[in-house]
Amino acid sequence: MRLNTSNYLPEEVFVQRASLEDPLTERILARLAESGQPVPVRILDERGDPSSELDLFDEKGLTEAERFSRGKRRLLLTRHLGDWLRACPGTSHHVCCNLWTVNPGEGCPLDCSYCYLQSYLRRNPTLKLYTNTSAMLEEIRQRTQADPERYYRIGTGEVIDSLVWDRLSDASLELVPFFASLPNAVLELKTKTDFVENLLALAQEHKG
């Protein structure tokens, strides 16, 4: 899919070395190279957030607001560590909707002033995509198979817009057929974009 400036292309991309050979990393870097807008790519050996680990890039003169703004123009490709699938903690004194969450990344370039992510991620503002997605899918499969009598509603929009990177990553082309194969799970996508081309192309698969 051809990219254009409306797709919130990052100004810089950082890749942690462990992610270099992951298929998602290769796909994103190839798509950026084809975009006609060269984006510098830097390889990192350290873990951490390039916009909060100030000693990494000598940005000690930046204010917190400047660092946060710069972070939302950077994309870090890294591997997720730990569990992927989590039960929504719910709100005290309210009936829980029993949503489960899985986060394929973190942060959002849309910069909506009313969004809770503006403060929630202020200390780690760099946009992130996790490249070890096969581990994410395997964890979901194992969890749903272990409890076949339970119906799982699983959302990807807790700390990232579900589709904001879809024209760059084609993540939905992997997620939708995967969830269609699960008899006791449904995928919930939350987005403020109109990047739904892949979903329309998958209309016969997603049972929507």
Give dist(CA 50, CA 46) in Å, integer: 9
- Cα of first residue to Cα of last residue in the chain, in angstroms, is 23
Q: What is the pLDDT of residue 56?
A: 45
H helical segments located in the chain: 23-33, 54-57, 64-71, 117-120, 133-146, 166-169, 171-180, 197-201
Q: What is the pLDDT of residue 5?
A: 43
Domain extents in the chain: 5-201
- Which residues of the chain fall below pLDDT 70? 1-7, 47-65, 67-68, 118-124, 206-208
pTM: 0.85
Q: What is the pLDDT of residue 49?
A: 57
Q: What is the pLDDT of residue 88?
A: 79
Per-residue tokens: 49: 């957030």
Q: What is the pLDDT of residue 48?
A: 61
Q: What is the pLDDT of residue 46?
A: 72
Q: Just give the CATH number of 5-201.
A: 3.40.50.12110
Q: What is the pLDDT of residue 205?
A: 74
